């Protein structure tokens, strides 16, 4: 069984997104209305939440409902990906198991060291690497999420249509993955990449 957005909600949201994709500036109240529609859609458009954050960031601190807000290049990219999502990902299975049985899923273990590097293990496959120059300035949550995203990039075909149980020792990364949202721009770039895997 699958939950889906009603056709009229898909049509309304698609129409609003198309309007926004042609504009350079929008009023706060209109952007808040679109964010509300998309937030509702996130209940069934699984990868959607990761592509809502930059739109939300545009309204933070703006008071007047008639204030004009400039749509950034990044927010336009999110609007365009939402148009794609509504045409392709309108549905979420309802009867997923509440608990994953560890015997019928793949285990992905990742870890990162703040100063040394990162690693991931999937079955008998693994990788380990030192941090590239300049990466040491990032905080540990970014460093812990990076090997997860890289593992999905490297082993994506092997993981397709499989249950994957992630093992990470960073609770903030667990929350960011589960929420698909963070105020940190680098974490969000990684989450958007993760959502599209």
Pairing label, strands 25-27, 68-70:
antiparallel
Tell me what pLDDT residue 159 has. Answer: 85
Question: DSSP H helical segments within 42-161, as ranges?
Answer: 53-59, 73-88, 140-159
Helix (H, G, I), strand (E, B), or coil: what is residue 120?
strand
- List the one residue out of 62, 61, 55, 68 whose CA is nearest residue 24: 68
Domain ranges (residues) in the chain: 2-93, 102-195
Helices then strands (H, E): number in the chain? 7, 8
pLDDT at 1: 63
Instruction: Say if CB 166 and CB 110 are below 8 A apart.
Output: yes
Q: How many CB atoms lie within 10 A of CB 180?
A: 20
Return d(Cα 54, Cα 183) in angstroms, integer: 9
Q: Decide yes or no: CATH 2.60.120.560 for domain 2-93.
A: no
Task: Tell me what pLDDT residue 142 has.
Answer: 94
Give the pLDDT of the chain (197 residues) as one tens digit per residue: 678 888 898 999 999 999 999 999 999 999 999 999 999 999 888 889 999 999 999 999 999 999 999 999 999 999 999 999 998 876 665 555 555 455 567 899 999 998 899 999 999 999 999 998 888 889 999 999 999 999 999 999 888 878 888 899 999 999 999 999 999 999 999 999 998 88
Phi then psi dihedrals of residue 168, to 5 deg: -140, 150
Rounded CA-CA distance 108/166 in Å is 5
Residue partners of 148: CB distance under 8 A and separation at least 6? 108, 110, 120, 166, 168, 173, 177, 194
Other C-beta atoms lying within 10 Å of the C-beta of residue 98: 5
Q: Residue 104: how many CB atoms within 10 A of its CB?
A: 9
In the chain, % helix, strand, coil (3-state, to 5) comes to 55, 15, 30
Which tokens go with 147? 């090997």
User: At the fourth CATH level, which superfamily is domain 102-195?
Assistant: Ribonuclease H-like superfamily/Ribonuclease H (3.30.420.10)
pLDDT reported for residue 104: 64
């Amino acid at each position: 069984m699958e939950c889906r957005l009603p056709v009229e909600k898909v049509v309304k949201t698609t129409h609003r997104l198309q309007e926004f994709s042609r504009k350079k500036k929008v009023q706060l109240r209109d952007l808040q209305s679109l964010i509300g529609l998309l937030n509702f859609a996130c209940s069934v458009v699984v990868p959607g939440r990761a592509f809502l954050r930059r739109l939300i960031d545009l309204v933070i601190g703006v008071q007047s409902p008639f204030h004009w807000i400039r749509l950034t290049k990044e927010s336009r990219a999110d609007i365009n990906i939402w148009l794609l999502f509504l045409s392709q990902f309108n549905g979420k299975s309802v009867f997923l198991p509440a608990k994953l049985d560890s015997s019928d899923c793949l285990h992905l273990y990742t870890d990162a060291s703040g100063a040394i590097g990162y690693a991931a293990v999937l079955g008998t496959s693994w990788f380990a690497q030192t941090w590239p120059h300049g990466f040491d300035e990032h905080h540990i949550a970014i460093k812990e999420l990076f090997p997860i995203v890289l593992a999905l990039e490297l082993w994506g075909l092997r993981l397709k249509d499989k249950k994957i149980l992630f093992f990470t020792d960073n609770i903030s990364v667990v929350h960011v993955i589960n929420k698909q949202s963070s105020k940190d721009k680098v974490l969000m770039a990684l989450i958007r990449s993760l959502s599209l895997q």
